[in-house]
Amino acid sequence: MNSLPPFVWIIIAVAAVIIFWLIAVFNGFIRLRNRTQEAWSDIDVQLKRRHDLIPNLIETVKGYAAHEKELFEKVTAARASAMNAEASGDKQQIEKAENALSATLKSLFAVAEAYPDLKASANFAKLQDELSDTENKIQAARRFYNGNVRDFNIKRETFPSSIIAAIFGFTKFDFFAADEPEKQPVTVKF
């Protein structure tokens, strides 16, 4: 039986190692991309929950603070904008609309502080607790998403996996960040 020269075995071994490395890096990108997409889905679920709670909250507050019509209109418009953005699927548009909705909700709760009967309402307290819980879940989902984005982008940008990312077209994910209005304190005028 004819034996191959040692340098051929070395070339075969090196080629096998490179192929296994390529497969491992590619699969790593797939795993990180899927985790990031799953994290975005988690944000989406919590945003939908918030959208469902807002009409009940507005109706409860309306009973006590009927003359705050402008604020109710702003919250309703912000909710509609957020739902339209979500339907578009554009992550940047969703982020902007959700940040605006968060700001108007902060204003709604700040106004509610001026109405002792409203604050004492069990229905309002329950809705406020549910919305607060949802906001906490949204923040946790955003952090989880941003952590996955960070991991994916680091792998995508570091050598030598950046070569594989370029070859297979793995594109960068954007972080979910707070808008400037969301970073500002809420102002309430009576």
Of 155 and 117, the one with more pLDDT: 155
Quick one: average pLDDT of 163-180? 86
- The confidence score (pLDDT) of residue 179 equals 60
* Cis before 160 (ω within 30): yes
> What angle (nearest 5°) sits at the alpha carbon of residue 98, between those of residues 75 and 89?
125
141, with CB counted inside 10 A (0-12, 13-18, 19+), is buried
Mean pLDDT over 132-151 rounds to: 92
Query: And the tokens for 182?
Result: 């969301």
pLDDT digits (tens, 9 = 90+) for 22-43: 999 999 999 999 999 999 999 9
- For the chain, list the domains and their CATH numbers: 6-183 (1.20.1440.20)
Band (pLDDT 50/70/90 cuts) for residue 189 is very low
141 near 94, Cβ under 8 Å? no
pLDDT band of 188, cuts 50, 70, 90: very low
Return the structure tokens found at 53. 């709670």
- Write out the two tokens for 154: 């680091």
How far from the centroid of its chain's Cα atoms is residue 68's Cα? 31
Q: Are 155 and 163 in contact (CB under 8 A)?
A: no
Separation between Cα atoms, residue 110 and residue 91, nearest integer Å: 28
